[in-house]
Amino acid sequence: MSDTNLAVNGAAPLRTEPWPARLQIDDREVEAVMRVLEKAKSGQTIERYGGVEVDAYEVEFAEAIGTGFATMVSSGTAAVHTALGALRLDAGSEIICAPITDPGAIMPVLWGNCIPIFADSYEDNFNMDPATIEALITGQTKAIVCGHIAGHPCDMDAIMSIARDHDLYVIEDCAQAHYARYKGKLVGSIGHLGCFSLMSGKHTTSAGQGGMVTTDDEELYWDAKRFADRGKPFNTDEPSNLFLGINYRVTEIAAAMGRVQLQKMAGIARARQDYVAAFEAALAQHDVVCCKPSPVVEGGTSAYWFGTLLFHADKCTMTMAEYGAAVAAEGVPVGGNYESALVPTKEWINDMQTYGQTKEPWTSPHWKGDIEALDYANSVPAGEKCVAQLMRYGVHECQGEQDAADMAAAIAKVDAVYRA
């Protein structure tokens, strides 16, 4: 086939049907929200205090994930902040962070006056590579915040074993991984705390924005709850607030919708797994050399917030960006990268302007580390390689077999032209 057959060069795209929209909401969410509003018409609160929906959602969420407790907050960022807040860490504590993640997983570390130290990733999987953690641990290291990026679980056995050896807390960031599993357990139930984003782009949502913190540890649960509500003295007889917190409270409306979404969580993850299985089977029917499905850690079952393909630059005459753009031009959602998530290279962290021009918390006398030696931008070579060779593809639960077949055929069409 010649390159004049490619849509990127003006030919007809392989897929002309519009891609299926993700239909997240149905009558059940509408009814749940209306139930709260109807009750409000006769004086019932829509605030969480005195309401029933948030309390019920928390209990149901904990039960679904397999933890003893859960507390709802206003976003995934708030969830990470709250989990860290529950740990009551000293300023200057070091937190081992995921290198490829959303800023919402890192910024709370800085707001807590702690120092992010980045583990490196694998070269073929966006997640933190546990083999890079131990060398980063100092006397000030207090926690690891690992992220199950793309919905692919981290190697939790290795991370938990390092944490046990060094007496560290583990916070699992499950924002992208609702109902992903690692060796039979759902993510969010393995570390000391789990954090979920419930914004509408995630597997499940609570009215467009929201977050949840899960834990098996009752003390951490109460401190998370207190932190997320200005240090209120929940579960104590104290008359006044206990410590500095913030207000991450949520409404009954959000929780009512979240409860319905929670019932869909397992099915959403399963539909995405089925989609990826159908896509990978379809891809295997074609002779494709420039990219292959990328690995998920042994024992892990991804919930596929998105899919990942490993690009083989040596087998291709084009760059990954050019190859991806040509596939996307065929009318399928394939080809993006995740460079935007390589946090240690980003200006917002390297300019160290969390608190004006003071360079706090890195200049804090509480931190014993060396600001000059940090060199965030050059600290994650595998991460740089990973974002340069992992290509993303769109996955959602409303995509079906024909979409999977078209995605694979579009890749094969481009591959035939661009292979070396």
Q: Enumerate binding residues for ligand PLP (CB under 6 A).
A: 75-77, 101-102, 104-105, 147, 173, 175-176, 197, 199, 211
Contact 142, 136 (CB under 8 A): no
Q: Which is nearer to ligand PLP, 177 or 411 (CB)?
A: 177
CB of 250 to ligand PLP, least distance (A): 12
CB of 139 to ligand PLP, least distance (A): 28
What single DSSP character describes residue 204? S
Q: Using CA atoms, how far apart are residues 65 and 85, in angstroms rounded to an integer?
A: 21
Contact 386, 337 (CB under 8 A): no
Q: Using CA atoms, how far apart are residues 137 and 100, in angstroms rounded to an integer?
A: 19
Q: Which is nearer to ligand PLP, 140 or 294 (CB)?
A: 294
Q: Which is nearer to ligand PLP, 104 or 231 (CB)?
A: 104
CB of 115 to ligand PLP, least distance (A): 19
Return the amino acid letter for 161: S
Q: Using CA atoms, how far apart are residues 55 and 52, in angstroms rounded to an integer?
A: 6
Task: Give 175's contacts (C-beta < 8 A, 6+ positions apart).
Answer: 76, 79, 102, 104, 105, 147, 195, 196, 197, 202
Q: Which is nearer to ligand PLP, 171 or 404 (CB)?
A: 171
Task: Give 177's contacts (C-beta < 8 A, 6+ positions apart).
Answer: 148, 151, 152, 153, 187, 188, 302, 303, 305
CB of 305 to ligand PLP, least distance (A): 7
What is the per-residue DSSP string for 342-389? BGGG-HHHHT--TTTTS-TTTT-TT--S-HHHH-GGGS-HHHHHHHHH
Q: Which is nearer to ligand PLP, 75 or 125 (CB)?
A: 75
> Which of 401, 180, 122 has its CA nearest to residue 304?
180
Return the amino acid letter for 220: L
Q: Which is nearer to ligand PLP, 76 or 130 (CB)?
A: 76
CB of 14 to ligand PLP, least distance (A): 30
CB of 182 to ligand PLP, least distance (A): 16
Q: Using CA atoms, how far apart are residues 210 and 75, in angstroms rounded to an integer?
A: 4
Query: SS3 letters for 240-309?
Result: CCCCCCCECCCEHHHHHHHHHHHHHHHHHHHHHHHHHHHHHHHHHCCCCCCEEECCCCCCEECCCCEEEE
Q: Which is nearer to ligand PLP, 202 or 259 (CB)?
A: 202
Q: In the numeric block, which tokens belong to residue 19?
A: 């891609």
Q: Using CA atoms, how far apart are residues 335 and 328, in angstroms rounded to an integer?
A: 6
CB of 408 to ligand PLP, least distance (A): 27
Contact 120, 379 (CB under 8 A): yes
Calculate the CA 43 to chain-centre distance.
38
Burial class (CB in 10 A: 0-12, 13-18, 19+), 44: middle
Q: Which is nearer to ligand PLP, 189 or 204 (CB)?
A: 204
Q: For residue 293, is the peptide bond before it cis, meaning its omega torsion is within 30 degrees of 0? A: no
CB of 176 to ligand PLP, least distance (A): 5
Q: Indicate if the alpha-carbon torsion angle 154, 158, 161, 163 is positive or negative.
A: negative
Q: Which is nearer to ligand PLP, 211 or 324 (CB)?
A: 211
Q: Which is nearer to ligand PLP, 171 or 318 (CB)?
A: 171
Q: Which is nearer to ligand PLP, 92 or 211 (CB)?
A: 211
CB of 121 to ligand PLP, least distance (A): 13
CB of 152 to ligand PLP, least distance (A): 11
